[in-house]
Chain A
C-alpha cells in the first residue's frame, strides 16, 4: 500500500515538474487535473439525518512521443461516503475509498485505426462506519489487469467511431472469509486466510459512437477462484461459482438553444450459478434455500436536462429510474421467510440543481434530490428496500 502511495507521490511530482516545463509551449506533455468535492445531508423517511461526502481527485498526463504514439497516465483517488444507494448494493452508512492507476499506450496504425493497450491497478477499502479500520475491511479489494482496445473511425465529419475492447482483471478480496458456513454446517471447511471471493473478470465490449449518439454491448464473465456453489443441503460442493453479465446501453447528448439533454438507457442481464442459504440465527438447523439467488434483469434510464440561463448560471434537473427483476430469487416477508413471488426492486431519483461557473476551470453546484425506493421484499433489517429520501448538498469542482 505504501508503495502505491509513494508511486502516486512520485508520479504527481514528476507530472508536476513536467507540467511546469509544459506550461511554456510544450507540445509533448498535457496535464489533466480534476478535483470534485461533494458534501450532502441525507434525510431518509425512517431513521435519522446523516451526512455523506464524495471526493474524487484525478491527475493525468498525456505524453506525445511521436505523432503516432501517445502515452496516457492517470491516477484516480475516490472517496465515497454514506449515501442512498440502489437496493441490494450496500447499506446507507457504507463508505469506500479507492486508489486507481491506469496507463494506456495509443498508437495510430492507420489514419482511421488506433489501438490502445493498457494496464490498470486499483485498490479499494470499504468499511461500514466511522472509526473502523480501513485496513481490516471485510470487502477490501485489490484489482490488477489490463485491456486492449481498438478504435476505428468510420465518419470523420460527424465524429463517428467504433471501439472494441477486451478487458481483463484479477480481483482479490484479501480479507474476506466466511467462517459462519463452517459453524452452520459440519460439512463445510472454511478458509482462514481470506480470498474467498477472489475472481478473474473478463469483459468484451463493442461501443459505436456517432454524432453524439452512443451505444454499447458489453459481456462480462466472472470466474471465482475459491467460491463454490452451495447445494440445498447447505454443503458447499465442488463446482466453482461463475457469473456472467450482458449489458446493452444507448444514449445521446444534444444541445438545443439553451437546453442540454443527455439521456441514457441501459439493460443488463446477470446470471450466476450460485445459490444462497438463509440462516436466521447462529445455529439455525433449518435454513431456507434460495436457488439461483443472483440472477436478475435490470433496466435503467436517466434523463438529465440542463438549462444554461447565462454563461455562468445553469439550472438543471434529472430523473432516473432503475428497475431490477430477479429471476428466481423470492422476496422475503418481514419475518425473513421467502414468499412465493420473485423479488423486484425499483428506485427513482428526481434531482434539481443550480450550477454556477466561477471561472473557466471552477464550478459550484447546489442540488436537491428526492429518492423513492420500493421493493416487494419486506425484510429490511439489514439492507434498506422501501424508503423515500431527501438529499441536499453542495459540490465544488475544479477541472483543468
Chain B
C-alpha cells in the first residue's frame, strides 16, 4: 500500500519529529507521518527507522538530525544535518531522482545501500555497500576532483569542508559496522547477531563441504588399482559388419629390454555377411554367428640395452645413448579358440650393415634363418618381405598358445631339411626345439608355412582412382611365394576401413572439412583391418601385370583350413588411435631418435 507520506516505521529511545516544514518538534511515535519539508531527529540513546513512499528505508543512529527536503513522485531529497544514517534505496522509476545532502556534498543514488555520517561543520564520511553513489562537493576543493562515482565496497572520508579527498576501499571493520543491524531497540551486542549468524552458517557450510569432500575422497581411494601396463586404453564400438566390438590396447614391458604393444578385440557375436565382396573385397568362409570371437595384434620390440624402469626416463635415455632395436615382430591372430589359432606374423631383425653402417630393421628370409646365419644384402634378390602364417593346433609337444609365443619371439627357423616347402622348425638356443614342425597337428599335417613376397606380380589394390569424397575403404592383396620355390603361391589380402563408432565408413571429407579439431575426430574414429590368406588361381606371377589380373588370380578358397576341412577364417582387427596419441607424446623423443 502506497503511503502518501513518509512514516516512522519503528523507534526506540528519545526521538522527535517535526511533521511539516513549519511544524513543532513532537516526540515521535510508531507510525507517525512526516510530510515533505518535515524532519526527524534522535537524541542520545535514540534510534529510528523511516520508510518513504518509494520504499526507501532510512535508519537513524543516535544524535542524528535528518530533513526530508523534497519528496515528489520523481524527485526526493534528504538533508543530513548531523549524525549517522543508513539508507537502502530500492530500484527507482526511470526518471526518478533521489539525493541526500550533507553540509559538504550532495549524493545522488539509484538502487543503493549506503551509510553516511556528518558533523554540522561539514566533516563527513560515506560508506557504499551496494550500488553506486554519485557524490558532488558543494564547495569544490582547491586540488583534486569535486565529483566522484563511488561504487560499492568503497568509502570516502572528508576531514574538512573544501579539502581534497579521494575514495578508498572499505576496511572490514567499517564494512561490518555498516552492515550490522541498525534496527532500533537492539542492544549493541545484538546488532552483530545476524552477521555472526551468517558467519557461523558459512562455517557450517564450509565444514559440510569439507566433510563431503572427505567422504567422496574415501569412496575414490577404495578403488583397487593395480597397474600392470605403461599405457592402456579401451573403447566399445560397432564394426563395419555391424558387430558390437570391444577393443583394448596396452603397452607393457615383458622384459627389461622389450616393449610389447597389443591390441585385443572381442566380439560377443561375429557375423560377416560378405557385403564387401561385390565391391572387390574378399570372401569370408568361416561360420556365421561365432560366439566370443577374439582377435589380437601384438607387436614386440627388443632393444640392445635395458630400458629404464620408468617410462618418464625414456626420453633422456634414448637421447643420450645409442640405443638400437635388436629384433621386432608383428603377430596378428584369430584367438577365438585357444586350441586352434589362425595367425599371420612378420618378423624383423636388426641388420647393422644396412643404411651406411647405421643399421636398420629388415624383414627378409634372414630373419627366420636361425641365429648365426649371414644377413642378406640389400642388393640380393631375396631381400623381400617374408610372412609366417597358418593354423596352430595343440600337439603333444606344445599347445597352440605356446607355439604362438615362440613365433612372436622369432624362435622359428626355416627347416633346412625340407627346402622349398616353406616348412619351419622351432629353434631355441641355436638348436632345434622339439621334433615337430611348426604347426604340426596331431594328425601330422603341417599347417604353417613361411612365404616371401613375389617381385614379378603386380599387387591388387582397389579402388584405384577414388573421387574426392569416396569412402575410406581400401582392398589390397599381394602374392607370396610359399617357401621361395616358385611353384606354390598364396595371396595375403587385406580390407582396410576407416570407420566411426557406429560402424559407418568415413570419407576423406569427414577429416578435412570439419570445424572440429583433429583430436576430436580421432576419438570418434577407428581403423578396421580384415586379413585373409587366400589360395592363388595362378602359378605364374610374371603374368599378373595389373590389378585386374591380380583380382582374377585371388581364389575365394582360403589357403589354410580352419575348424573344418573346407572352411577358412580371417583375422578381423579394429584399431583405435587412443593409445597412439598417448604413446607418441610420451615417446616422441624416443621415436625421433629411433628414426635417426
- Which residues on A are within 8 Å of B, measured CB to CB? 23-25, 27, 30, 32, 34, 44, 46-48, 50, 58, 60, 62, 64, 72, 74, 76, 78, 88-93, 98, 100, 102, 104, 120, 122, 124, 128-133, 135-136, 138-139, 141, 143, 147, 167, 169, 171, 175, 177-180, 182-183, 186, 189-190, 192-194, 197, 201, 203, 218, 220, 222, 243, 245, 272, 274, 276, 278-285, 293-294, 334-335, 359-360, 380-384, 399-400
Contact = CB atoms under 8 A, between A and B. Distances in A.
A222 B222 contact: yes
B130 A24 contact: yes
Contacts of B262: 282
A24 B246 contact: no
Given A60-B209, A141-B220, A197-B223, A129 B312 contact: no
A104 B523 CA distance: 38
B514 interface: no
Nearest to A131: B581
A50 B585 CA distance: 13
Interface in B189-205: 194, 197-198, 201-202, 204-205
Contact of A283 (B218, B313, B404, B586): B404
Contacts of B313: 46-48
Given A47-B310, A130-B585, A136-B235, A76 B209 contact: yes
B219 A201 contact: yes
Contacts of B208: 60, 72, 74, 102, 104
B483 to A, nearest CB: 27
A334 B582 CA distance: 25
A64 to B, nearest CB: 8
A62 B204 contact: yes
Contacts of A284: 254
A220 B226 contact: no
B213 interface: yes
5 tightest A-B CB contacts, nearest first: A47-B312, A281-B254, A192-B246, A30-B201, A32-B205
Contacts of A171: 219
A168 to B, nearest CB: 11
Interface stretch (B291-299, B427-435, B460-468, B564-572): B291-299
Given A136-B235, A141-B223, A177-B248, 20 more contacts: A30-B201, A34-B206, A46-B308, A72-B205, A76-B213, A90-B227, A91-B227, A132-B581, A141-B220, A183-B294, A201-B222, A220-B218, A282-B262, A282-B264, A334-B256, A380-B309, A381-B311, A382-B228, A382-B229, A383-B227
Interface of B: 88, 113, 130, 172, 194, 197-198, 201-202, 204-206, 208-209, 212-213, 215-216, 218-236, 244-246, 248, 250, 252-256, 260, 262, 264, 266-268, 292, 294, 296, 298, 308-313, 315-316, 335, 338-339, 399, 401-402, 404-405, 408, 519, 523, 578, 581-582, 585-586
Contacts of A89: 221, 225
A71 to B, nearest CB: 11
A74 B212 CA distance: 9
B219 A143 contact: yes
B223 A139 contact: yes
B500 to A, nearest CB: 14
Nearest to B300: A281
Contact of B234 (A34, A48, A58, A175): A175
Contacts of A276: 226
Given A23-B130, A128-B582, A282-B296, A380 B205 contact: no
Contacts of B225: 88-90, 139
Contacts of B209: 32, 34, 58, 60, 74, 76
B205 to A, nearest CB: 4
26 contacts: A48-B312, A74-B209, A74-B212, A76-B212, A90-B227, A100-B212, A104-B208, A120-B215, A129-B586, A131-B519, A131-B582, A132-B581, A133-B523, A133-B578, A136-B235, A171-B219, A177-B234, A177-B246, A179-B246, A192-B244, A192-B246, A245-B222, A279-B228, A283-B408, A293-B226, A334-B256
Contacts of B245: 192
B249 to A, nearest CB: 10
Contacts of B335: 183
A329 B431 CA distance: 40
Contacts of B172: 359-360
A218 to B, nearest CB: 8
Contact of B266 (A58, A78, A192, A283): A192
B222 to A, nearest CB: 6
Contacts of A400: 202
Given A48-B312, A133-B578, A141-B223, A192 B294 contact: no
B244 to A, nearest CB: 6
B234 A46 contact: no
Given A89-B225, A136-B523, A285-B399, A60 B312 contact: no
Contacts of A88: 225-226
Contacts of B233: 132, 136, 138
A200 to B, nearest CB: 11
Contacts of A335: 256
B227 A243 contact: no
B303 to A, nearest CB: 14
B339 to A, nearest CB: 8
A30 to B, nearest CB: 4
A382 B296 contact: no
Contacts of A23: 130
A58 B223 CA distance: 24
Given A72-B205, A133-B578, A281-B260, A138 B234 contact: yes
B223 A381 contact: no
A115 B281 CA distance: 69
A220 B222 contact: yes
A23 B153 CA distance: 13
A278 B202 contact: no
Given A122-B216, A139-B223, A282-B260, A380 B310 contact: yes
A179 B264 contact: yes
Contacts of A143: 216, 219
B206 A183 contact: no
